[in-house]
Structure 1
């Protein structure tokens, strides 16, 4: 039986826009080869699993997170090469940091001084959490379509920045779901325009372990730019740990919006363990990049399939019938992501996560049969 809102206690108190939203959907992957969520397909060796288990078993679960969080911050600074005078803020995944950025910048409109409602701006199609976090925190959201080949539309971006004066402009590098790196000159034009309006720019480098380029070396050139990263694609999607790098003064202000103890002792210890074995995860990333090259070559040979360049651990492709192909692959035991309804530019598009060599062979066979 479905209850109406009139008989669900408390429902009228929940914001109408929240009730109208669609929840973030995680596909059921039981019994399937899971190639839908850009996860690192490699697990730790049995030896490292046992070593990690001993470490986690010794953690003081009865205590709130303490000095080990400082140890984790120091380890991440070394791992990422954070500039010496820059700050680092931890989040429960990069999703939490995106929400905290919106929260910190959610200035309501004021009739007294003519101040507009704060807004978030991002190219589209892009990561859905930029828009969702903006809406949940009461900011406006402005999406600017990419070009047909998924590049930044610089004139459109500059016009939108001039019109809306965004508090935050997101540039995913590489982008999700298109998996490409933006042109350097295009990025610099957008960064400069956002800065001239007094806004922040967040370079989201979630897929940096697989990319040929990073913005880190240019970060100090722009005091209004923040760099967002995560350990999810590094190989710790289940640990939920993201971090934000930026000028110390900016990070200090944003950190005020962070809940205390937002990173658990287990998350911190697991992340420290992984960073101590960084070479293992680097080798895994190199394998993913090698497998990506093989997949791109194989996919390009399939008739009727358009394959887009990738600098991430995912590949975007256009097929004659996305839903038919998705259903056929799922029936053959392979779960991918049908993104064809996310944006008009993604018409007939599917997104594949790069898996292990055996997984990729099965995926290719299922794809070819399902086209």
Structure 2
């Protein structure tokens, strides 16, 4: 179509849109969501709070009260502030826009979160992917060589990593942070921190070039779309310049402030999911022809042994049984024949296991 060719960048035309499958009627285990809702008394109180929100007014763009609550409740060190985003995706976009100097590059281990590369390309940045080792650990030497060669303005390290679920070696990460030095920033994406219980957030004061990015999505608030990142004050101020002024809506703000006052409920849910993760991993390991990778997130990555079963056929068989997980086998060569499943309630985990056994048998 001539109009499209005349107005849309060639690199954008070559991309595919981020696909979210229809999950209606399925046991939904594809998106790393917390399966638990708030207890009924809290839901009723939240409803009353939201009913009083002035939806006819713009949000207060400083979000001072919400940011203070996030810092107090979610472990941001004293003296550090946060910038808020409409989920982590917007924070990644903000970083890309702010750092998009001519010729600048973004670097990340692969396989990793797809939005690092997509957001970089949308902003006109070159993306450099460095393969992980076959066991999904960081290839530190390859990372250091790529940093020396490309001088990236942004390096992403997901901690734990998605879609593999593992925590990278912290000492290796520190070497990478120091190798980047003052030529770029290292964004440590801690989206799954509630399930890892390991964090670089307490180490913000050690490194002036790190940004620790998190989201409340995995805590059980995926629907309100709220992410936050903490860093040196001068660096945050630059990112704040390209943040849309009303990027967090008043309903999200009110819901987050209320739920953070009851963070103990979210913490208990995360503890339950960590326990269910161990049970599900054990059950999967007992099945023939399945390799289960260690996970510090709220999902498990599994690989099917070569043979009659492969990721495509088992994924399709699970769909036939109304169980939706993520087929990651074609995302990267290291993920060949791999599937990713969200850890859920005992009931949904059992439904998945039963469907998987039947799918393998068929």
1:23 to 17, 22, 33: 17
Shift of 1:48: 1.8
Shift of 1:102: 0.5
The residue aligned with 1:350 is 339
The residue aligned with 1:155 is 141
The residue aligned with 2:237 is 252
**3-state SS in 2 of match to 1:103:** helix
- CA deviations over 1:230-266 (Å, ceiling 9, x no partner): 0000110000000010011110111101010110000
Determine if contact 1:125/1:177 at 8 Å carries over to the other structure: yes
Structure 1 segments (4+ residues) deviating >4 Å: none
The residue aligned with 1:369 is 358
Shift of 1:95: 0.4
1:312 to 273, 289, 297: 297
The residue aligned with 1:49 is 43
Shift of 1:81: 2.3
**3-state SS in 2 of match to 1:258:** coil
What is the number of equivalent residue pairs in this alignment? 356
Shift of 1:277: 1.1
Paired with 1:332 and 1:10, the residues of 2 have a C-alpha distance of: 40
- 1:140-151 residue pairs with structure 2 within 5 A? 140-151=126-137
Residue 107 in 1 paired to residue 90 in 2?
A: no
Paired with 1:319 and 1:269, the residues of 2 have a C-alpha distance of: 44
Paired with 1:163 and 1:361, the residues of 2 have a C-alpha distance of: 48
Residue 261 in 1 paired to residue 246 in 2?
A: yes
Residue 174 in 1 paired to residue 160 in 2?
A: yes
Residue 87 in 1 paired to residue 81 in 2?
A: yes
The residue aligned with 1:112 is none
The residue aligned with 1:334 is 323
The residue aligned with 2:169 is 183
Determine if contact 1:205/1:227 at 8 Å carries over to the other structure: yes
Determine if contact 2:77/2:202 at 8 Å carries over to the other structure: no
The residue aligned with 1:133 is 119
Structure 2 unmatched runs, 5+? none
- 1:196-235 residue pairs with structure 2 within 5 A? 198-235=183-220
The residue aligned with 2:92 is 98
Determine if contact 1:210/1:289 at 8 Å carries over to the other structure: yes
Larger mean CA deviation between 79-88 and 244-253 belongs to: 79-88
What is the RMSD of the two structures over their aligned residues, measured on CA atoms? 1.1
Shift of 1:68: 8.3
- CA deviations over 1:258-292 (Å, ceiling 9, x no partner): 01011000010011111011111111101100100
**3-state SS in 1 of match to 2:133:** coil
Determine if contact 1:68/1:269 at 8 Å carries over to the other structure: no
Paired with 1:218 and 1:261, the residues of 2 have a C-alpha distance of: 30
Task: With the length of structure 1 as denominator, give the TM-score of the two structures.
Answer: 0.94
